[in-house]
Amino acid sequence: MPNLNLMKTYALLFFLVLSHFNTIAQGDFTLSGTILDENSEPLEAATVFIDGSKKLSKTDAKGKYSFAGLASGGYQLVVNMVGYGSSKQDILIQDKSVVFNLKLIAQAQNLREVVIVGDGQRHNYLTTFKKFFLGESENAKKCKILNLDVLNFSSEKQILRASTNDFLLIDNPVLGYRVKYLLRDFQYNSYLETTQYHGECIFEELEGSNTQKQVWHHNRREAYFGSLMHYLRSIYKGDIKSEGFLTYKVTNTRLPAEINVNPVLPKRITQKIDDNLIELKYKGRLYIIYNKELAARNYSFEKKDKIIMQFKDTGSVFSTDGQIDSKGNYFNYKALLIQGYWGRKRIGDQLPYEYIPD
């Protein structure tokens, strides 16, 4: 068995059925509807948002919500109401506005068993959680969780688990966002050095001076270029080379990764599903580097370097069985693997899907 410590992979694993799937560009369409209870009575003040975006609303006295200015594409609509739990629905906007009504069923609050731990133990749990949930970048280190009390922890053997019953509030002073995250489940396995978590989030702009906003503008560009969002948008367009990416097939299934030394073009590893979606037809892992100079040369590794004992600074391993759209969204997946550079870039480096660098 290879020595995992040599790889320094910091693996990030997700196992979800669906994920956030929304839009970047402004459009002319509206997503609207009514939220009702099981008796078909309107629910007022239900929280409605589009996962991974800045689109958030509260239903009015008639249970109505509305999001205007949307472009064609897919969205994951999330409705959350105390006493009713949450509901997630995939919405596809094609050539017209969509009206989507939803009925919520009242349910008893599903509380996990309360595990009482000492202050010292909870401090250790929080330290681990922040590292592997927020990430390990300089951006992540400056993030602040405002309501640590909503986090529920439990531990069994080498696995630390966490969840919340309400939004976890995270201020990111480097990128200028407040992230509200409904954490369904978080697990960190200290033996395997793997993390898996899932939930839904919404972004809010922080208030700041014009000077501060200029700093945020710069920092957001820095966070975007070379990110997973940037790569997925590039591979959808079929033009990763000009965007500074190189992609190599990983030919084995274990660590350390062994690669085909010659880079591959997007058309060799992707296939079109319809006018809006592609998927990876290569079902193995991919090794991706972000380096404009090497990409311009269409760099091939020497055969002696085909075993990747240590990832390059921007080197990442990626695989998914899901679908990808032009906005850098991935969805309808059951498994997603991210290792290396992208594996270290977590909530502290995440941008809303409305973001477009200028």
Give me the tens of pLDDT residue by residue for the chain, a chain 358 residues long.
444 433 333 344 433 333 333 334 567 899 999 999 999 999 999 999 999 999 999 999 999 999 999 887 778 899 999 888 789 998 888 789 999 999 999 986 555 555 556 678 999 999 999 999 999 899 999 999 999 999 999 999 899 999 998 999 999 999 999 999 999 999 999 998 889 998 999 999 999 999 999 999 999 999 999 999 999 999 999 999 999 999 999 999 888 899 999 999 999 999 998 777 889 999 899 999 999 999 999 999 999 999 987 776 889 999 998 888 888 888 777 778 998 999 889 999 999 999 999 8
Q: Which residue, among 272, 273, 305, has the nearest Cα to 289 in the 3D structure?
A: 305
> Is the Cβ–Cβ distance between 289 and 308 less than 8 Å?
no
pLDDT of residue 24: 44
3-class SS string, the chain: CCCHHHHCCCEEEECCCCCCCCCCCEEEEEEEEEEECCCCCECCCCEEEECCECCEEECCCCCEEEEEEECCEEEEEEEEECCCEEEEEEEEECCCCEECCEECCCCCCCCCCCCCCCHHHHHHHHHHHHHHHHCCCHHHHCCEECCHHHEEEEEECCEEEEEECCCEEEEECCCCEEEEEEEEEEEEECCCCEEEEEEEEEEEECCCCHHHHHHHHHHHHHHHCCCHHHHHHHHHHCCCCCCCEEEEEECCCCCCEEECCCCCCHHHHEEECCCCEEEECCCCCEEEEECHHHHHCCCCCCHHHCEECCCCCCCEEEEECCEEECCCCEECCCCEEEEEHHHHCCHHHCCCCCCCCC
Whole-model pTM? 0.86
Bridge partners, 323 (sequence order): 279, 331
Give per-residue burial for 221-243: e unless 16+ CB within 10 Å, then b. Answer: eebbebbbbbbbbbbbeeebbeb
pLDDT of residue 52: 93
pLDDT of residue 113: 52
* Cα–Cα distance for residue pair 309/189, rounded to 1 Å: 22
